[in-house]
Amino acid sequence: MQISNIRAWPVRLKLREPYTIAYETISECTNVMLLIETSGGIRGCGCSAPDQQVTGETPEIVMEVLEGLVIPELLRKDPLRPAKLMERLTALIPANPSVCAAVDMALYDILGKSSGLPIWKILGGYRSRILTSITIGILSCEETVRAAQERIAQGFRCLKLKGGRDVDADINRVLKVREAVGPAAEIRFDANQGYSLSQALHFVQETRRARLELIEQPTPRGESDLLGRVTASVSVPIMADESLMTLRDAFRLARRDLADMVNVKLMKVGGIDVSLQINAVSRAAGLEVMVGCMDECELSIAAGLHYALARPNVVYADLDGHLDLTGDPTSGCVILKKGILYPLDKPGFGFDF
């Protein structure tokens, strides 16, 4: 079997409600869909979700790289040798992780469909479902509380609050949300690099009674020593997100004890295969892993879910980037019930365009 044709096209997706994080407000996104066709009639589906702030890519860059470099490299190759193909590709386009993620995803989809198995079972099949958090962007205190109550009423059991612009306002919102949702709900907080060291320590001290499950990337990613100082100074688990972009980053974070946990996003690290390698490094170092996402269509969320289900060390999921998108051409790739995500019981990711 050979790769006989590759097609890519951008899809602009609007959010039902714009949301705000520490450094920007998002109202829409563009994902690039990828379809790899084979001489055996099996089609692999993938998706790139570029984000200039995170991956350093735009949709235009993704299309240019796919058409100019990736497609010529992959045509007439054996799709059932994904490790060989991805090794070549990552060397060819090292600055394009979301492109690598899309190709990696499509190749795994072909492998699953060829074998008649879902990807999460091929990768290990450790669990069959996982709890996901639901994100609430930076809002006023009253709006945050209202949104938290609505999400709990919808069946979600884990909330992720965004912050990082005003530490005292963040403290107030966290405490008010805990009062409103009660002790049973899990609350995570993501500062998106917005705090200094003193602000991060102040935030932790003042939110102790809210019993946060974890705090994500409190300090700037370019100042890793600050992240390590926060981690060493507080009892709440600290998670690295923007500080983890590559396998080498995972090794550096682990070797220097700079975080307690890491957030692995397929789009920023380059796909499932390298995510498995990062998970291995993390497990060896005693770091727990969360699989995260950006504004991604449901197919991309499905890929993150299959990765999360495969390994015991991936114990947290923040896979909600598809929930507010309109016009998603890949809708139906995952099943969500009361805040828990389930995969489709079909070969590959269970989807075809």
Known catalytic residues? 162, 190, 216, 241, 265
d(CA 219, CA 229) in angstroms, rounded, equals: 10
Give, as one character, the DSSP assignment of residue 118: B
In this structure, are residues 128 and 309 in contact, taking their beta carbons and an 8 Å threshold? yes
CA 23 to each of CA 192, 220, 244, 292: distance values in angstroms, whole numbers, following the listed order: 8, 11, 18, 18
Strand ranges for the chain from DSSP E: 3-20, 25-38, 43-48, 130-131, 134-136, 158-162, 186-190, 214-216, 238-240, 261-265, 288-292, 314-317, 325-326, 334-337, 340-343
In this structure, are residues 241 and 276 in contact, taking their beta carbons and an 8 Å threshold? no
Rg of the chain (C-alpha set)? 20
- The position carrying tokens 């060819």 is 92
d(CA 269, CA 327) in angstroms, rounded, equals: 26
d(CA 85, CA 187) in angstroms, rounded, equals: 40
- Going edge to edge, which strands form the sheet with 238-240? 134-136, 158-162, 186-190, 214-216, 238-240, 261-265, 288-292, 314-317
Phi, psi of 147 (to 5 degrees): -65, -40
Handedness of CA 115, 343, 186, 174 (dihedral sign): positive
